[in-house]
A and B are shown apart, each in its own frame.
Chain A
Amino acid sequence: MAILEVKGVNKRFGGLLALDDVNLSVAENSIHAVIGPNGAGKSTLLNCFVGKLLPDSGSILFNNQSLLGLPPYRINQVGISRVFQTPEVFQDLTILENVMIPALAHRDGAFHLAPFKSLSREHDIREQAERILDSVSLLDERHNLASAMSRGNKRRLEMAMCLVQKPKLLLLDEPTAGMSRADTNNTIDLLKTISEDHEITFVVIEHDMTVVFSLADRISVMAQGHVIVEDHPDNIKGHPKVKEAYLGTAETA
């Protein structure tokens, strides 16, 4: 069953058709990778999913419910979280606080307005946050400010911030970009464990083919706003259209 159903989505930026009749069907509890050369429209597509951009036409259904026109915070509340291409964390807060905020927001449906409740009483939230931080191996640094982290660690933190909300669908925009080989492998392992342990669906945008082929259950290849192929990883590797898109040898229709 498809958890996310994208049909005929178009998005135009001035003269540029960034998304051109995009169709995508993401199966529940799978890892769906979206690959394609720079400027293919991958991030734009994610932006349409999370309500940052409104498509010009087409439909996006999440569990058969339309996401079009919902503001980002509502889309998060229905169970979609996102890791950005450039990490978006709370720089001036500690790592622990960074994770406690989404945890609180998730537990209370939005955020309870309790100006006099002491944060130190929120033992459950704290423990939950620490458990997640442990799983991304950031527990020891939890009292440091997020601004002091490396880019790779920020991305891991952002992943923890998303995971603590137990999303049904997690969107990852290049989760391993800028990471060392070792960190990349850790991330692959982390994503694998998460997808085995939880009822969660991933949409992963990735340039690193090792990551894609070791994780994905299904791959969509995008080029110049089109999804040119959608198939099982084994069939993608030698696909002529994919080679064309990456090497740019043939003219596009």
Chain B
Amino acid sequence: MLKTTDNKDRLMMIAFTVAVLAAPVILAPFGAGYPDLMQRFAIYGIFAIGFNLLFGLTGYLSFGHAAFLGVGSYAAVWMLKLLSVNVIPAIIFAVVISGLFALLIGYVSLRRSGIYFSILTLAFAQMSYNLAYSVLTPITNGETGLQMDLDDPRILDAATAPGQLPPPSLFGLEMGDTHYLSFMGLDLQLNVGFYVCAAILILMFYISLRIFRSPFGMLLRAIKSNQTRLNYTGVHTRPYALVVFVISGMYAGLAGALLVCMDPLAGPERMQWTASGEVVLMTIMGGAGTLIGPVLGACIIKYFENIFSRVNDAVVSNWFSGLPDSLGDFFSAIVSPFLGSGWQMSLGLIFMLVIIFLPGGLMEGVTRLIGWLGRLFRSRNNDEDAETTSAKESSPDPHSSRPASPKES
């Protein structure tokens, strides 16, 4: 029984790894196979996985997670400025700093639960935003944002050609380097930065999987389910919630650092409440408490933001050019508010549909689909069996007795 869970996990891990590494091939037909967007998919995937560890497992809805993303970004830029353009110290420093920051905020916020917890985290994040925007200008460079500079010390780096800003790199491999390749009629763009993000995404997914399957993960689900019972079971819940809050904050800091490694600029808007709301949306849309859901949600939202927003009226009327003029205009008039600058309308519509019909997020849809296909397949097989060897009763699968637990996928 548990063995089969292990095997399923192994399979899921392999499938996830292959899918991420092959992203340039998979995404190219959707027009999303370019480095900038793929990096975003991976980075926001990491952000959402981390958020899901907190929200999906314990049910604590943080409305201020962008603060950790922002802190990670600033910390990473500082490392790039002071130490080296190598991304490794920047990433490590960002994760440590955002972890400490999460410890502080979590310690205070976790004294309350439910809506009060959400409000506290929101308040902290807005405070951080305002600090970054004005008060801490020497550290954050205020509204303009913090970026690398020609006279930065970069004490570990060899002197570069004067007047040239070195890009972030991994031991000489520049993040912006892209290798162009033609494969089965697709123009693939293999980018160093994306593969750095992809490798980290795979590692972070693995860590999340391990946490889900550990006794600690089970305890976190129990916190979501019934804190009262846990208290009378000898478990003081707050320290455990704090640990996962910090882990989750570190994921966010890591994502922030990666954003900076791909494009060395950190601005305060990264900490705004809309950014915090976005990760909530990603997680719920994909499926809170599932493993893959948050990554899926992140990809879909970033896809909408980047692809749908580019479709303008000219493109739309082009779609309907085959139709008679008045009909074409009619359809364009209906469709165009949902595209271009109106992309958020269609996102909102899809979000509503998901919440209403698939309260468990898109992953619930996937699970249902798989179950439905499985039943269809099995019943067809049974029909064939019945025709050929009517005597042989298909023995019930001993594992199928387990109901589809929402935490499975």
Contact = CB atoms under 8 A, between A and B. Distances in A.
Nearest to B244: A115
Interface string A96-133: 01001110111000111111111110100010000000
Contacts of B236: 71, 73, 110
Contacts of B221: 90, 92-93, 97
Q: Which of A50, A76, A165 has the most B CB atoms < 10 Å from its CB? A: A76
Interface residues on B, range: 35 or more
Nearest to B3: A120
Interface stretch (A81-89, A187-195, A227-235, A241-249): A81-89
Interface string B327-369: 0000000000000000000000000000000000000000000
B231 A90 contact: no
Q: Which of A106, A114, A126, A143 has the most B CB atoms < 10 Å from its CB? A: A143
A72 interface: yes
B226 A90 contact: yes
Nearest to A171: B232
A117 B235 contact: no
B216 A165 contact: no
B210 A115 contact: yes
Contacts of B247: 115
A117 B216 CA distance: 8
Nearest to B247: A115
A3 to B, nearest CB: 18
B113 interface: no
Interface in B60-108: none
Contacts of A114: 214-216
Nearest to B216: A115
A104 B225 CA distance: 17
Given A100-B218, A113-B216, A91 B232 contact: no
Contact of A88 (B213, B216, B226, B240): B226
B222 A93 contact: yes
B211 interface: yes
Q: Which of B6, B222, B226 has the most A CB atoms < 10 Å from its CB? A: B222
Interface residues of A, number: 41
B234 interface: yes
Contact of B211 (A115, A120, A145): A115
Contacts of B235: 73, 101, 105, 110-111
A92 B57 CA distance: 11
Contacts of B233: 73, 76, 81, 101-102, 105, 161, 165
A153 interface: no
Given A101-B218, A113-B240, A76 B234 contact: yes
A113 B219 CA distance: 10
B403 A77 contact: no
A63 B76 CA distance: 56
Contact of B226 (A76, A91, A116): A91
B196 interface: no
B247 to A, nearest CB: 8
B229 interface: yes
B5 interface: yes
Q: Which of B215, B221, B233 has the most A CB atoms < 10 Å from its CB? A: B233
A145 B403 contact: yes
Contact of B6 (A93, A102, A106, A120): A120
B355 to A, nearest CB: 19
Contact of B218 (A73, A76, A97, A143): A97
B218 A93 contact: yes
Contacts of B231: 71-73, 76
Nearest to A106: B234
B234 A120 contact: no
Contacts of A110: 234-236
B232 A101 contact: no
B234 A118 contact: no
A144 interface: yes
Interface of A: 50, 71-73, 76-77, 81-82, 88-94, 97, 100-102, 104-106, 110-120, 122, 126, 143-145, 148, 161, 165
29 contacts: A72-B231, A72-B232, A73-B230, A73-B231, A76-B234, A82-B232, A88-B232, A97-B218, A101-B219, A101-B235, A104-B219, A105-B233, A111-B216, A113-B216, A113-B240, A115-B216, A116-B211, A116-B214, A118-B210, A118-B213, A119-B213, A120-B2, A120-B6, A122-B215, A126-B2, A143-B402, A161-B229, A161-B233, A165-B233
